[in-house]
Amino acid sequence: MYFFRDAQTGAADGVGVPSSWVIEWWDGSGWRAVTDPSGYGTAENAYNATDFDPVTTGRLRARLTGHPNLAVGVQEWKVYAQAPEEVRPVHVPTTVGVVPELPDRVTLVFPEGAASEAAVSWQSITEEQVARGGTSVRVTGLTQSPPLAVTATVWVRVTDAVEITSVAEERLRTTAGVPPAMPGTVTATYNDGSRDSSVVVDWADIPPGDYARPGTFQVAGTVAGTGIRATATVTVLDDA
């Protein structure tokens, strides 16, 4: 946050630096102050930086308190988002000659295990690309915020009469004391070699003690229509 002034504290009017300020984030129903800020400096003609515990939100605001009779001078402020570490794989099955609809959002995964969705625009798929069964097509896309290049794989089936032969293991992270963000879907592989990343999974309840301290544990999940179980391995990181 870059502050400037053209008047000193106690002046009858003019622009000054704030007496104090805080950063707040929108939690979906109201504004909340960020936790564990490193400080809120009020130096003039300089950037006043602060770090705080990560939040997942679409809105941030700065709430500034000025000195009597003075407006607050803010020349510029910058917010740096944590970069996602990976994008969850996208696998979409279709049958010969049918151009599939790709998901309009992808899931971004961050270093400490938090996840969020981002809108994505995909390149067009032609009928020619899905004209032959037993093939796959790689499709590229671009997320809106943050702008990231992503890919999806379209699997062209000869028939929809297929069955699941395996379910990909999920490898997740969280910090001690924070419930892991369990995905609502898993990637299944079928007997024709095709894959589908939109297969719904029902995870077992996780006792809070499992993620209370650093370590690793597993969670089992069920997938409708098959006896093959889903498995997630969760790594619990130190919250320091």
What confidence tens digit (pLDDT) does each residue in 40-81 have?
A: 999 998 899 999 988 878 789 999 999 998 899 898 988 887
Which among 93, 215, 223, 108 is positioned nearest to 158, based on CA atoms?
A: 93
How do residues 205-232 score in pLDDT, each as one tens digit?
A: 999 999 999 999 999 999 999 999 999 9
Domain ranges of the chain: 2-76, 86-237
9 — pLDDT class (breaks 50, 70, 90): confident
The Cα–Cα gap between 191 and 159 comes to 11
Q: 14 is written with which tokens?
A: 């003019």
pLDDT digits (tens, 9 = 90+) for 17-28: 999 999 999 988
- Read off the amino acid at residue 42: T
Query: CA nearest 103: which of 95, 94, 91?
Result: 91
pLDDT greater than 90 at residue 234:
yes
> What percent of the chain clears pLDDT 70, i.e. is strictly above it?
100
Report whether pLDDT(240) > 70.
no
State pLDDT tens for residues 143-155.
Answer: 998 899 999 999 9
pTM: predicted TM-score of the whole model, two decimal places? 0.78
For CA atoms 3, 4, 8, 11, give the dihedral sign: negative
